[in-house]
Amino acid sequence: MTTIALAVERAAGDDLSIWPGSTTRLPHGHLAVGGVDLTEIAERFGTPAYVLDQGEVRERCRTYRSAFRDTEVLYAAKAFLSRAMVRWMEEEGLGLDVCSAGELELAVTAGFPADRIVLHGNAKSPHDLDAALRLGVGRIVIDSLSEIPRLAAAVGRNGSQKVMIRIVPGITAGGHTKIRTGTDDQKFGLSLTDGQAHQAIARVLGQPQLELTGLHCHIGSQISDVEPYIVAARRMVGLMAQVRDTHGVVLAELDMGGGHGIAYRPGEAALDVTALARGLRAELSESCAAAGLPVPHLIIEPGRAVAGPAGVALYRVLAVKRTGERTFIAVDGGMSDNPRPALYGVRYAPRLIGRHSTAEACTATVVGRHCEAGDILAADIELPGDIRPGDLLAVPVAGAYQLSMASGYNLVGRPPVVAVDEGRARLLVRRETLDDFRARDVGL
């Protein structure tokens, strides 16, 4: 790599544009988030650790509420859920979208109103449905034809439950094939092209204990362009017009899902939330007017875009290995706390913190501690050439789909979550320990 190229890479490495808005530079290579030095968090709570900027979470909620006025904004709990997160969502006026009885019961026992929760899932278990009905969940999103009679039976002849139907609109969008859900070749929803969507609508309308409030459409994740959402909304309005013409029913709600893209590295594209809100309002107004329909109540479900940029992961360097022309930096976490690079090739931008280095940059790969060759956290990135064991690495945009997807691989234990706000740090989720593993192992 040329000297000029290295200078450009190092300048990009100093870019804080993807970090929480509260991030500040401190002397000697330190960084603070939420007014708290990240090295102090590492020393106090150990590593690996996840830092969540409470102010950034709240500000992102307010951005959505401001852009999507007269819209129901649901936080997609699968991105990251804790009791504190539940409280922040309620205080900021968001609803919740959950995918299991576990997520649902955590939210309700933390005090969140069940009628402001929507239950998703392509394969809901009897326990999921029983919990939803027992707790009084606001809506259940039907994802398959077989789910309709099961749910109707669980509701009972004299009961009532509001439902939506998840529609596959035939749109390709998303950052990777494994997170594209708007096409017919994946497991979610009911297709427009093969007639299953129409069958599901007819069957739900034939179940008096199920109240069909509207349609649901989630086309994928990590989408940075507004246009796929506009096309999807147009197709949903077309289907709503067919429902009216065929069944004489005007559906009142349209849930356009989430999947709003964020930047994981400086210079990457992110979805413009304000442009999305403006585009969806205009499309719904025009399409509904053309179809002679009232504009439905709009619902959206951001998750990653709320939690992702508010999080920072902290790791301690354990080893530096130079093999031929490759440099590997091994840290004390890995795929057990962040499987996303191994699952679908996500790229991050780790940064050395806690000391200032004047060494020339080198190209390195940050790897985890697990017994898998694919345990890579960040491939071919630029870091100071003098990086050594004991150094601290901080990875921004770590608030979504990392700890929530964590595993118990190698019995390493999942990291803690530490909230920072106005110069204070507090533990939200403690570190998983060997005692936790022993308590679950009852086989002796």
What positions carry a catalytic annotation? Answer: 371
Contact of 419 with 399, CB cutoff 8 Å: no
**Residue with tokens 């017919």, as numbered in its chain:** 184
Question: In the structure, how many helices (H) and strands (E) does the chain have?
Answer: 13, 21
- Joined together, the tokens standing for residue 233 give 């909304």
Main-chain dihedrals φ then ψ at residue 302, nearest 5 degrees = -75, 140
Helix (H) or strand (E) holding 394: strand 392-396
**Helices 227-247 and 273-291 sit at what angle, rounded to 10 degrees?**
30
Q: Where are the alpha helices (DSSP H) in 14-125?
A: 38-45, 54-67, 83-91, 101-109
Structure token pair of residue 70: 């007269």
- Helix, strand, coil proportions of the chain in percent (round to 5)? 35, 25, 40
Question: In 150-209, where do the E strands start and end?
Answer: 161-168, 190-191
C-alpha gyration radius of the chain = 23
- Gap between the Cα atoms of 122 and 128, Å rounded: 11
The H or E element containing residue 220 is none
Look at residues 437, 415, 423 and name the one whose alpha carbon lies nearest to residue 333.
415
For residues 327 and 363, the answer to whether their CB atoms sit within 8 Å is yes
**What are the residue ranges of helices labelled H in 68-100?**
83-91
Q: What is the CB neighbour count within 10 angstroms for residue 233? A: 25
Q: List beta partners, residue 366.
A: 329, 378
Which residues have C-beta within 8 Å of that of residue 83, sequence separation ≥ 6?
106, 110, 428
| Strand-pair partners of 395 | 313
